[in-house]
Structure 1
Amino acid sequence: MLYAGIAWTAEGYEVEVLDAEGNRAVEPARWGADRVPELTRWLGETERGAGRPCAVVVESTNGLVDGLLTAAGLDVHRADPWLLPDRPAFGSVSARVLAERARTGLAALSPLTAEGGGQTGRDEDYHTGIRRSEDVEAAMTRAGRCFRHGRRDRPEVALTFDDGPDPVFTRQVLEILERYDVRATFFCVGLHVSALPDEVRRIRDAGHSFGNHTWSHPFLPDLTAAQFRLQIERTGDAFERAVGERPRVFRPPYGSRTPETLGELRTEGPAVALWDVDSWDWARQGPGKITRTVLDHTAPGSMILMHDGGGDRRQTVQALPGILENLLARGLTFVPATHLCPTDL
């Protein structure tokens, strides 16, 4: 069997592949954040060329590659912090450490699924973080620093897309939005903003707005407050380089949160934009199911969660026209996410 570790850095990804004896099966490889499809193909070719299955390992602060890897049929696992040495303030542990952890203790790692995504097996930690955050979230909501929908007496909704930009799927989404003259908000990750500034400018030039979605799409309960702050600040810096402005709203990956991370945004920085309609497009249940889910749960004021990056988004693209046609037929107007915030951002 082969064991591949994928580490994230400020520039992209590093991959190390070991055999059962701990020797390098191939030379280490580096990939820019704009080349995850190539990385995925390379791992598949490495597995087929060796004639042996390959266990691919990421850590919980890397939520950007598992979607494409699982869609390609690769065997993907997550190594959680208590199984690893301390990571740096910005970046993951090394690819070699991840591959070696899989080689010596694969059974202790969490296998990832399309349905569970990057937080497969962490439901208890997720819900514990939500419960611990209730008081801080309530205070932020009262102050207009956190919101999940807008006013219910206005016929307007916010359509949002997470995890991009993606060089393929974001462009397809933009073409459909232009066809229906609809504006959306794109919650982008810093790794992709930094690697694909032209795509960010393409989104801006089409009249859409932005949100901050961290740098590497981490599971927030696994970050210190300082590590979280770096994720937000560096993503804001990447936006400023690309389009000359920093997003005024932030969305936590998976909706995960803790009092410590929310506390970093309690009085300054972007406001926290959650959602009240989850399309579940990330689970790849089929375009018909995605369309029905959105239409059944959308009401005036809704914030709709969809995805243009971080995985295989073909089903999202296929579902989008039907969603737009039906919501427009209801007389709903599409507005930026900031427009739903109860305070002036």
Structure 2
Amino acid sequence: MLYAGISWHAGGYRLAVVGPDGRQALPPADYAAPRADELIARLHRFEEPVTVAVESTNGTLDGRLMAAGLRVHRADPWLLPGRPLFGSVPAQDVARAGLRAVDGLVPLAAHRGTQTGREDELAAQTASSADADRALAAAGRLFSHGPRGRREVALTFDDGPLPPYTGQILDILERYGVVATFFCVGINAGGFAEDLVRMREQGHAIGNHTWSHPFLPELSRPQLAEQIGRTAEAIAGASGGAEPRLFRPPYGSRTPQVLNWLRELETTTVLWDVAPDDWALRQADAIARDVLADVRPGSVILLHDGGGDRSPTVAALTPIIEGLLERGYTFVRADTLVDRALSAPAGAA
């Protein structure tokens, strides 16, 4: 058995592989985001079984690894040394955590994602944040939807940009003359700048979705600030536009403390009220059906253009757009819904 650890850093990913004796089976190698497929292919070339581990702040790659047929596990913080201010625990340490405590690793399921096994914890943290959510919403800094009085909806896409899916989605949006909002991860921004430029040129909004798609309650305030700040700079540099105005927490993860930090960091947080779980290996017809069943005036629809195989989302997009157009909806950017909510009379939402 071999043990592979994958870390993330400002330039992309690092892969380290150790054998059962703890010695290197492969010299550590770096892969920029556009070369992630090479990293995945390298893991497939081993003749021995490989246990692949990521840590909980590395939420951009596991879906693609699992889609390629690899067994992926999460190494939780108590198995690892402390993280730096920016970046994950080194890949060698993640690999050796698998060797030392393979039974302590959490096997990930493709239909459950990076936070497999934490669903109850995430739900409890979300519930505990209800008062903080309301306070932040009252301050005009958190939104799940826009005003309900207009037949407007916002399509939003998370976790990209990622070829070919982002480009395919942009093609469909351009065909219908529809605008959307893309919440992008910083680790992909520089490597796929052409997609961000195209988003801006087509009139779409670009939002901040952190650098590495981490589970926010595990970050310190300085680590959260680095994730948001560096992603904002990367998006502005790659797109040739301004730094993003809007922020979306990965997984919707938050606690009252995290929300307080987001308030201090002066973010405007956009959640959602329609989520067909398109990332969870669902079929295109099921994705489209659930969106059309759940949408209401002012809805923010959560879809994904990155993080895994998004061909079902691409296939679902045309029936979603056509179905909503038939119902008399118009498509606006998420920032438009935010502005509408901020200008609406009290109680109008």
Give me the TM-score of the superposition, normalised by structure 2. Answer: 0.94
Contact 2:2–2:49 (Cα < 8 Å) also in 1: yes
Range 228-237 or range 129-138, more displaced: 129-138
Range 213-222 or range 258-267, more displaced: 258-267
Task: Give the match for residue 321 of structure 1.
Answer: 318
> What one-letter code is carried by the residue in structure 2 that aligns with 1:109?
L
Per-residue CA shift, 1:234-280, capped at 9, x if unaligned?
Answer: 11111222223111110000000122221122255331000000021
Give me the TM-score of the superposition, normalised by structure 1. Answer: 0.96
Percent identity at matched positions?
Answer: 52
Contact 2:152–2:297 (Cα < 8 Å) also in 1: yes
Contact 1:77–1:110 (Cα < 8 Å) also in 2: yes
Per-residue CA shift, 1:139-166, capped at 9, x if unaligned?
Answer: 0111111010111110100000000011
CA distance in 2, matches of 1:248, 1:87: 28
- Structure 2, unaligned runs of 5 or more: 344-349
Per-residue CA shift, 1:321-342, capped at 9, x if unaligned?
Answer: 1111111111100000011122
* Structure 1 consecutive aligned stretches of length 4 or more whose deviation exceeds 6 Å: none
Contact 1:213–1:253 (Cα < 8 Å) also in 2: yes
Task: Give the match for residue 263 of structure 1.
Answer: 260
Contact 1:220–1:257 (Cα < 8 Å) also in 2: yes
Please, what is the CA RMSD of the aligned residues? 1.3
Task: Give the match for residue 276 of structure 2.
Answer: 279
Range 262-271 or range 108-117, more displaced: 262-271
Contact 2:79–2:101 (Cα < 8 Å) also in 1: no
CA distance in 1, matches of 2:180, 2:50: 39
CA distance in 1, matches of 2:45, 2:166: 26
Task: Give the match for residue 209 of structure 2.
Answer: 213
Task: Give the match for residue 253 of structure 1.
Answer: 250
- Residue 182 of structure 2 aligns to a residue whose secondary structure is strand
Contact 2:200–2:241 (Cα < 8 Å) also in 1: no
Whether 2:130 is the aligned partner of 1:134: answer yes
Per-residue CA shift, 1:292-313, capped at 9, x if unaligned?
Answer: 1111111111100000011111
Whether 2:329 is the aligned partner of 1:332: answer yes
CA distance in 1, matches of 2:317, 2:44: 30
Whether 2:65 is the aligned partner of 1:69: answer yes
Range 309-318 or range 33-42, more displaced: 33-42
Task: Give the match for residue 113 of structure 1.
Answer: 109
> What one-letter code is carried by the residue in structure 2 that aligns with 1:264?
W
Task: Give the match for residue 342 of structure 2.
Answer: 343
Whether 2:221 is the aligned partner of 1:222: answer no
Give the alignment partner of residue 290 of structure 1, picking from 287, 309, 324.
287
Range 170-179 or range 233-242, more displaced: 233-242
> What one-letter code is carried by the residue in structure 1 that aligns with 2:196?
V
CA distance in 1, matches of 2:56, 2:97: 14
- Residue 265 of structure 1 aligns to a residue whose secondary structure is helix
- Residue 179 of structure 2 aligns to a residue whose secondary structure is coil
Task: Give the match for residue 97 of structure 1.
Answer: 93
CA distance in 2, matches of 1:308, 1:91: 23
Q: Superposition pairs for residues 303-314 of structure 1, below 5 Å?
A: 303-314=300-311
Q: How many residues align?
A: 340
Whether 2:8 is the aligned partner of 1:8: answer yes
